[in-house]
Amino acid sequence: MVNFPVFKTLKVDGYLLYPGHPPESPGINITFTPGPWLVIGVNGLGKSTLLLMLRHVLTGPVRARAAGFTGERSDLQQVDPRFFAHRVLDAARSAQATITVKFGVAVLAVTRKLSDLSLVEASLEAPEGVEPVATETSYRELLARAMNLASFDDALRAIDRVTFFLEARDPLIWDTAAQFELFRAILLPQQSSELRRLESIIVSADSSARNLSATIFTLTKRRDSQIQRNAQAAGVQAQLALATAELDEAQAIEVTLRQQLDQYDEQRADARVQTKRADRAAVEAASAYEQIKYEVLRHAFAGVPATDQYVFLKIITDRICIACNNEAEEFASELELRRKENRCLVCGQPRAQSETVVSTTAALQERAEAAYETLMAARVEQEELKTRFNAAEAAFVATDRRLDECRLKVDSSQREVRRLRNRLPSADQVELAATEDRIVGLRHEVNRFRRERDEAEEQIGALIGALSSATEAIREGLISSFQTRADEFFAERVQLVYAPRKDRIGQTGRAFEFPAFEVEMTSGATQSQFIRRRADQVSLSQREYLDMIFRISLIETVGRSLGSFISDGPEGSLDAVFASRAGDLFAHLISTTSENTLIMACNVVAGHFIPNTLRNYATPDDRKARLVNLLDLAYPTSALTELRADYNREIAAILEQAPR
């Protein structure tokens, strides 16, 4: 489980954008109790800035890079550390912000300068004690540990993609690559770094191989042009071009055959191991059968002198009479029959024996038959595996023979190319030889990079399979949570479906099946006959609320329903009816959890968005207590200075308004 952040307090000191009520209550000092909180104000008062302050005091001046497979590029992207300084005249020289955030049972306290977002102090209070840190590196390690994730990169990705839904509106439900990176971080934390490392190897090796292949293509064209320009005779030119083409074809076939040979060699090795295992099983079964058979015969020879036993045993075993050295197949079969029928092996008469003897003989016979069946089954499997090994061996030998023939062809073609090249002027020969040598060297490099990519793809395949299993483990809970929220808000039929996607990590190479979810929504314009699945097929408000509900469902499913959700302007794209439904959605979300905070920045808007969001608070004073009212706390804009009475009147009316 992931410990998503639950914001508990925010304290801002000395920041001119939020003077507060000096001198008795300067700055901002908020304790976020469980439930919805509305940062309310007008344009220019700093609603978005306050939410960004929560985010960057927690994470520092970085953000997660855009989703997608990359090589060795960092997952962290720097943002302007003076972002908050640019908003005030004194460049925030003495301004600081402090937040406390709960992660599971631990509470993180962190203070940063707002002039450059540098770390002042931070500590994590857990049941086992308080752990302070003083450097950004140590703080990042502490934050990742508090979230129960492997790295700060993963923690930042979870915070950016789940906790915060700000003006940038980076999509999650509409971006399967973003889902993969998030699931990798929160569902497979112990293997997340290895997945990222192998991804980097694959992308870098694939890119290098493609770049070198492009260089080879350019050099090959240049070489061919040189050949065409410098050939002294039309016949030599044609022959050299043909010989070069044959050489290129033979070298390409050689690479393919070498890959096939490696595959057959692996199959042959596996078959050899399995065959040896089957041989051992057959030998053990035969030994067991012979042992039981010996016990049966020893029982049958009870009372016969040892010398006579030896004679009869040799006849049964070798099918040869040791007295006359003739074949005794018929007599050996007769002895076997006497043994099976429990007759005396010497005279052939039925044995006069007790019930105990009969029982012992029958038991030995049953054991012998069972051991024989086991032996036969082992020999059948032994033959099947030998056949499989022989097939793999034959394929290996045939491919090896073809590879030898191909190598001879390559050698022959190279000799022919050299022979024809020698017929060119000496200066051209040197230039062509240098170009050819460079092409050969680059081809070796391309093969090396492709081998690196193939090896990394082999390793990453198992990890992606494990990630798919982990995603399927939360599938039912995530879909159920999403469906509950979606049904509360949307009038149209909406459902979340698990829809893994096939994609390559590099531009070439192996395709993998990555875990992903997508949304299906019916279209009212077509009498629900058309299913919309892409972001460009739905309205702006539908797109944003589907994404918000997906993130909230992840907090409920993966984070044990513990975590803050912070959104900027959720009312902006809604009409009057859906603004009411959105308020109900947020009110119901928080009412079903224990410690969560829902922090949303919005304008002073008429309608039922604010009353419905605060429907669980009975009186206007109770509702007012859920507001971070920047009309009172922020430095006033010209519009606010002129119209403050009107805005205050509107806020009072909104707080008096009953939810619908």
Question: Is 90 strand, coil or helix?
Answer: coil
Residue 356 reports pLDDT greater than 70: no
Is residue 25 assigned to a domain?
yes
**Residue 6 CA from chain centroid, whole number:** 26
State the CATH number of the domain containing residue 47: 3.40.50
Q: Cα–Cα distances in Å, from 391 out to 63, 100, 257, 264?
A: 56, 68, 17, 10
Q: Give burial (CB, 10 Å; 0-12/13-18/19+) of 599.
A: buried
Residue 541 reports pLDDT greater than 90: no
**Domain count of the chain?**
2
Higher pLDDT among residues 620 and 432, named by residue: 620
CB 197 within 8 A of CB 444: no
Domain boundary among 372, 396, 415: 415
Give the pLDDT confidence score for residue 32 in this predicted structure. Answer: 94
Give the pLDDT confidence score for residue 437 in this predicted structure. Answer: 85
Give the pLDDT confidence score for residue 122 in this predicted structure. Answer: 97
Is residue 502 assigned to a domain?
no
DSSP assignments along 107-147, one per residue: EEEEEEETTT--EEEEEEEETTEEEEE-SHHHHHHHHHHHT
**Which residues are CB-contacts of 285 (< 8 A; sequence separation ≥ 6)?**
371, 374, 375, 377, 378, 379
Domain boundary among 415, 432, 451: 415
Is residue 218 assigned to a domain?
no
Domain that holds residue 331: 249-415
Preceding amide of 23 cis, omega within 30: yes
| Encoded tokens for 585 | 């959605």
On whether both 254 and 154 belong to a single domain, the answer is no
Task: Say which range, 69-83, 419-433, 435-449, 550-564, has the weakest mean pLDDT.
Answer: 419-433
Give the pLDDT confidence score for residue 306 in this predicted structure. Answer: 62
Q: How many helices (H) and strands (E) does the chain have?
A: 16, 20
Average pLDDT over residues 576-594: 78
Average pLDDT over residues 14-30: 93
Give the pLDDT confidence score for residue 526 in this predicted structure. Answer: 47
Is residue 306 assigned to a domain?
yes
Residue 516 reports pLDDT greater than 80: yes
Mean pLDDT of the chain: 86
User: pLDDT band at residue 361, thresholds of 50, 70 and 90?
Assistant: low
User: pLDDT band at residue 433, thresholds of 50, 70 and 90?
Assistant: confident
On whether both 121 and 254 belong to a single domain, the answer is no
Residue 426 reports pLDDT greater than 70: no
Domain boundary among 415, 432, 463: 415
Q: Cα–Cα distances in Å, from 453 out to 216, 261, 461?
A: 19, 19, 12
Give the pLDDT confidence score for residue 86 in this predicted structure. Answer: 95
Task: Say which range, 8-17, 220-229, 598-607, has the weakest mean pLDDT.
Answer: 220-229
Going by C-alpha positions, the residue among 182, 184, 135, 148 that lies closest to residue 163 is 182
On whether both 377 and 289 belong to a single domain, the answer is yes
Residue 297 reports pLDDT greater than 60: yes
User: pLDDT band at residue 160, thresholds of 50, 70 and 90?
Assistant: very high
Give the pLDDT confidence score for residue 465 in this predicted structure. Answer: 92
Average pLDDT over residues 458-466: 92
User: pLDDT band at residue 62, thresholds of 50, 70 and 90?
Assistant: very high
Percent of the chain predicted with pLDDT > 90: 42
- The Cα–Cα gap between 618 and 621 comes to 8
Is residue 125 assigned to a domain?
yes
On whether both 49 and 158 belong to a single domain, the answer is yes
